[in-house]
Amino acid sequence: MYNILLIAAIFGFVLTTLLFSKKSTHPTATFFLGSFYFLLSVYALQAYIIDGGHLANCSWFFLWPLIPYNLFAVPVYFYFITIIEDEYKWKNTHLFWFLPFILSIIDVGYIYIQPDAVHSKLLHTAITNPQNRLHASYWLLNLDQHMFLRHLWQLLALLFVLPKLLSFISNNGTNKLKNLLNKWLLIFWFGLTLFAVFAIFYAVGNRLGHNIFEGGAIIPITLYMIMFLVGVIPIYFPTILQGYPKVIKMIPKDGQVGETKKNNKFGLHEEQVESKLKLLMDKKIYLKQDFDLTNLARELEIPAHQLSYFIKEHYGVNFTVYKNNLRIDYGKRLIHEGFLSTNTMDALALECGFASRSSFSKVFKNTTTLSPSEYDNKIKNND
C-alpha cells in the first residue's frame, strides 16, 4: 500500500522538473503548478518514509517538512486565479492563505529551540508508533491540528475559486484548446477537493481517537489513492507541460476608449508569432531535413500544440501541408531560375529539403498537378 505513495512522489518530482524546466506561454501559472507538485511529492515521500517504517533510516526527514506542507493552499489558489484571471497580482488579502504556514513556522521554531531531548522524543514516537504521531504536541497546535488546518485552507481556496472557475469554463467553449484546459481544470479541481476532504477526515479521526468510517484503514488508503491519482493525472494532459491557453487582451485598432477585445487564439499573440515565423522563413529553415513542428516550436519558443493550432487557424492548413507548400514554392522558384539546366532532379529534391526524388516528385505533383519535369517543360515552352 505504501508503495503507492512512493510512486506518486516519483511522478511528482518528474512532473515538477518538467514544469520548471520547460518554457511556457503562461510561466507564472506553470510556476505555481510546479510548486504544488513539488509540495505534493515531498508530502507523499515523507508519508511513505514514516508510515512505511523507514524513518529510522531517514531521521533527517522529520519535523521541518511541516513548514512547506502548510503552504498547500497557496500554490493551489494562485494557480487557479492566475489561469482564470490571466494574470497574477499580489493583494494584501492574500496573506490569509499563509496563516497555516505562519503557525507552522512558530511551532517548528519552538521545537528547535527546545533541548534536544524534546525533538528526540517526538522523533522516537514517530518511529515506534507512526500511526499516533499526529498526536504530537508542539506549542500552538498539535500535529493533527496542523494537518486539519492546512487542508481546511486548501478546501477553502478551492471553494473560493469555484464560482470563478465555472464562469471561466462557460466562456469560449467552442475552442479546442480552451476545452482541453477546461477539462484539465475541472479534473484537477475535483482531485484536489477530494484530497482536501479526506485529509480533513483523516486529521479529525486522529484527533477524536477513532475512525469516522467503519474500517480503520478506509480513510488512509483512500487518501493515499487520491494522492497517487492527483500525482499521475497530468499524464493524461501532456499539453499542460508545454503551456496553457491564454486569452490575450487587445486594444481596438481604432484607438477608441471602450471595452477591450479578446483574441481567441489562446496563448498566441498573432503579430508576435507571425513576425517571428516570417523571420525564420526568410532564413529558409524549412529546407533543413530535420524541419518539423517540434523544432519550429522550439525556435519560436512556444508549445508545439499551440503552434499547430496557430498554423491551422492562420493559414488554413496543417503543419505538413504548410511545410510542403514552402518547399514546393522554393522548388518552383529554382526551376524558374534554370536549376535543372545544370543539376539533376535528385539535387533539386535535396535542395528543397526532401530526402528523396520520389517524395519530392509526389508532393510536387500533389501541390501543382504537374511533375517537376512537366513543370520545367511547361516553363520552357512558355519562354
CATH number of the domain where residue 298 is located: 1.10.10.60
Contact 354, 363 (CB under 8 A): yes
Q: ∠ at Cα 63 (60, 67), nearest 5°?
A: 120
304 located within any domain: yes
227 lies in the same domain as 285: no
Please identify, among 246, 281, 310, the residue that sits at the C-terminal boundary of a domain. Answer: 246
End-to-end CA distance of the chain: 80
Distance of CA 219 to the CA centre of its chain: 29
37 lies in the same domain as 128: yes
85 located within any domain: yes
Q: If we measure between CA atoms, which residue out of 58, 63, 51, 53 comes closest to residue 118?
A: 63
Cell numbers found for residue 110: 519552538
Rounded Cα distance between 90 and 80, Å, is 14
70 located within any domain: yes
If you average pLDDT over residues 18-24, what whole number do you get? 75
What is the per-residue pLDDT across 55-99, written as a single tens digit (0 to 9) for each?
Answer: 888 888 888 888 998 998 999 999 999 888 877 888 899 999 999
Rounded Cα distance between 55 and 298, Å, is 44
Number of neighbouring beta carbons within 10 Å of residue 365: 15
Please identify, among 246, 281, 313, the residue that sits at the C-terminal boundary of a domain. Answer: 246
Contact 224, 5 (CB under 8 A): yes
Contacts for 92-100 with beta carbons within 8 Å, 24 or more apart?
A: 97/73, 97/153, 97/157, 98/71, 98/74, 99/149, 99/153, 100/70, 100/71, 100/72, 100/73, 100/146, 100/149, 100/150, 100/153
Contacts for 122-126 with beta carbons within 8 Å, 24 or more apart?
A: 122/62, 122/63, 123/55, 123/59, 123/62, 123/63, 126/50, 126/55, 126/62
Q: If we measure between CA atoms, which residue out of 113, 18, 123 comes closest to residue 65?
A: 123
102 located within any domain: yes
Rounded Cα distance between 168 and 157, Å, is 16
Query: Pairing state of beta strands 248-250 and 261-263?
Result: antiparallel
252 located within any domain: no
227 lies in the same domain as 304: no
Rounded Cα distance between 196 and 194, Å, is 5
Whole domain around residue 377: which residue ranges? 270-382
Q: What is the total count of domains within the chain?
A: 2
255 located within any domain: no
Per-residue confidence at 289, pLDDT binned at 50, 70, 90? confident
pLDDT value of position 154: 93
134 lies in the same domain as 212: yes
Per-residue confidence at 218, pLDDT binned at 50, 70, 90? low
156 lies in the same domain as 287: no
Please enumerate in sequence order all residues whose Cβ is within 8 A of that of 320, keeping only pairs 6 or more positions apart, or say none: none
26 lies in the same domain as 68: yes
264 located within any domain: no
What is the per-residue pLDDT across 103-134, written as a single tens digit (0 to 9) for each?
Answer: 999 999 999 898 888 888 888 888 887 777 77
Q: pTM value?
A: 0.67
